[in-house]
Structure 1
Amino acid sequence: MSYADLTFTQWNDQPDGVARRTAQGIADRHGLTPVGLKDTVYAGRSHRVALFDRNGMRFALVPGGRPTLGYGAARFEPVPEQVASYAESASEYGLPPLREYVDAMTSPVRMAEVPAMLIAVEAFNPCQVPRSGASREVPYDAAMAGLARIGLRTTTADEWEWACGAGATTLFRWGDDNANDGYPVDYQTGPHRQRNLWGLAIGQDPYMHEVTTERTIVCGGDGGGATCGGSGFFLGWLTLATAYRDEGFGQWFASEDGYADEILTRPVISLS
């Protein structure tokens, strides 16, 4: 069998004994150490998490399927605090109506084919992987080469969204609301700091943005621009939306002028 065909429903419907054998089969086929299975609940949804170790790097099983990705702001029902926060930002920066802005800053609604895969629990800076000889690679190319040297790759944009939201249809993976008296970095606890449904630490800090296989698509943050610039609490939280897309930031980050102390990726082990 191909473990890449394993769907969310198939995985969660397996009896515990079968699930353990499935996890062991994945580990054996890919030279991994199974860490264990555990049941988790996130934002009112439950899931069985399978964890694996690869040379000290922890991976979680992310089942596949044909999910709907992206976000359509027509279904967004902001609470009064979100409306008020955005109104202040819109007045200061000349922004369009709230739903129009959310639509512009999130990826379009679409269907995607996503295989089951193993995804790193924590983001990773592959530029730290040793390499021999001098290199003139730009940071993005160096990061991708670093992953390749250890037999990994980063996520596609679709895979990142699926990994982050785990099929949630809300603006954020935990719902549509956000704290209204601070930015994400002001809170060390809360739904954004918790491991998500798959068991991943992802989309927790807007400063910790992650690159994808598409050079200009950056996910999970905006480099801290909205927070550092004091753009308003709702705009600061919006950068953690599952489908968040800042095209301008992505294009700058991918350009010769783009700068980063580190480039974070979400390593993937493709299943066979």
Structure 2
Amino acid sequence: MEALTRGMWTGLSVQEKEKLLYGMIALCPAGMEYIGLRTFERFGQRTETGLFLHAGREFVFVPGDRVTLGWNQWQDGMNEETSADLSETVSEYGVEDVDSFLTSQMSPVREAAIAPMLVECQIQSLGWIEATEEEALAGHGSEFAAELEKFKHSDQKGLEQYQAFRLERQGEKVRIQRYNEELTLEALLEEQAEAGFGLLTEDEWEYLYGGGCRTLFPWGDSFDYTMKLKHFGRLEGLTEIVGESVETNPPLVEEDDMPYHLELPNFFGLQFAGDPYKVELTMDSSGEVLPKGGDGGEMICGGMGPLIGYLPAAAVYYRNSNANELDWEDWMDSMYYRRVIRLTDLT
């Protein structure tokens, strides 16, 4: 087990790593395949690790560690651009103490022991599941049929009927999803446990997203205004970024083929939603749901601009203090999850 902590893992040879990675298959659900070693590097952190495949879904090995999580003070401090943007934005809402405001938005500082695990690389939607045309017709009848026909003859990229069905153009085909209103948290946990998987805790999510960093963002304490962000487009070169509303304004810079920066794989090879409208399911020690990586769009809808609007999606330790005011059914539309296999039994 000691070899699977980050400090020891880094010092192992390729042969030693591959021996351990092959050995992990015995602890996994049937059908797990080891693909090979891969190296991921971003934000000043680097991991050489193993890539696995199960039923078409990719997993990576993430070594364990003992880390400090949460946020209550700066490590390096903001640069002048970030500081001016932050102060101007929050002052419009009556906030005078910027540091206290940020601390109130973050999880508390604490020590955590993170077990080594295999982690699903990409998230899956909780509230929306793939459906055939026949299944969608059976559930929504003539309404679905009419919208599908209209969509096929339009130039729309996507269409959503709230908590009913989604249509997405994929080349010549149309991807159909239906809302999974019957799903409960208990059923999800039971289903995944029976299949040999677990779901993330808040500690694990913060470690996977930030790698134990002590900065506000995984790359540092200052916002990166060169990024391309969903709902805003490319920020680079902007001189006026405060107070733009994503609901009433078009993207700040014309779209291009560049991927959204917050959706790119990180130093563990994991991809995150990078979208404040989306949240990822985690749970605390008592089993309560703690949505991470977003706030359902609360701040971005308020016209707070990229820095504060994206704080829930970009800040490593953001914790939505209003999360307990919503029920499970309220989160399902925007909630995603990823599966893990904790390797605590490896000898």
Report the TM range for the smaller structure's normalisation.
Answer: 0.7 to 0.9
Aligned equivalent of 2:274: 204
Aligned equivalent of 2:80: 80
Which residue identity lines up with residue 16 of structure 1 in the other structure? V
The change in CA–CA distance for 1:86 and 1:139 in structure 2 (over 3 A counts) is farther
Q: Encode CA deviations 1:17-68: one digit per residue, 9 max, x unaligned.
A: 1111111111233242002112222122222021111222211111112111
Aligned equivalent of 2:221: 176
TM-score by length of 1: 0.85
**Structure 2 counterparts to residues 122-137 of structure 1, below 5 A:** 122-126=122-126, 128=129
Aligned equivalent of 1:35: 35
Matched, 1:218 2:291: yes
CA contact (8 A) 1:165 1:242 kept: yes
Aligned equivalent of 1:266: 338
CA contact (8 A) 1:67 1:167 kept: yes
Match of 1:20 among 18, 21, 28: 18
SS at match of 1:112: strand
Q: Encode CA deviations 1:221-262: one digit per residue, 9 max, x unaligned.
A: 1112222221232212321211111111x1133x26724425
Aligned equivalent of 1:236: 309
The change in CA–CA distance for 1:202 and 1:35 in structure 2 (over 3 A counts) is same
CA distance in 1, matches of 2:280, 2:211: 17
Structure 1 residue 140, shift from structure 2 partner: 3.8
Structure 1 residue 206, shift from structure 2 partner: 1.8
Aligned equivalent of 2:324: 251
The change in CA–CA distance for 1:242 and 1:206 in structure 2 (over 3 A counts) is same
CA contact (8 A) 2:46 2:267 kept: yes
SS at match of 2:21: helix
Structure 1 residue 154, shift from structure 2 partner: 1.1
Which residue identity lines up with residue 324 of structure 2 in the other structure? Q
Which ranges of structure 1 fall in alignment gaps of 5 or more residues?
none
Aligned equivalent of 2:238: none
CA distance in 2, matches of 1:136, 1:191: 32
The change in CA–CA distance for 1:182 and 1:166 in structure 2 (over 3 A counts) is closer
The change in CA–CA distance for 1:138 and 1:89 in structure 2 (over 3 A counts) is farther
The change in CA–CA distance for 1:226 and 1:75 in structure 2 (over 3 A counts) is same
Which residue identity lines up with residue 203 of structure 2 in the other structure? D
Aligned equivalent of 1:114: 114
Which residue identity lines up with residue 7 of structure 1 in the other structure? T
CA contact (8 A) 1:192 1:203 kept: yes
TM-score by length of 2: 0.68
CA contact (8 A) 2:229 2:260 kept: no
CA distance in 1, matches of 2:293, 2:186: 20
CA RMSD in angstroms comes to 2.7
CA contact (8 A) 1:126 1:146 kept: no
Aligned residue pairs, count: 264
Matched, 1:194 2:267: no
Structure 1 residue 107, shift from structure 2 partner: 1.1
CA distance in 1, matches of 2:263, 2:331: 26
Which residue identity lines up with residue 122 of structure 1 in the other structure? Q
Which residue identity lines up with residue 283 of structure 2 in the other structure? T
CA contact (8 A) 1:183 1:236 kept: no
Match of 2:210 among 148, 154, 165: 165
The change in CA–CA distance for 1:68 and 1:259 in structure 2 (over 3 A counts) is closer
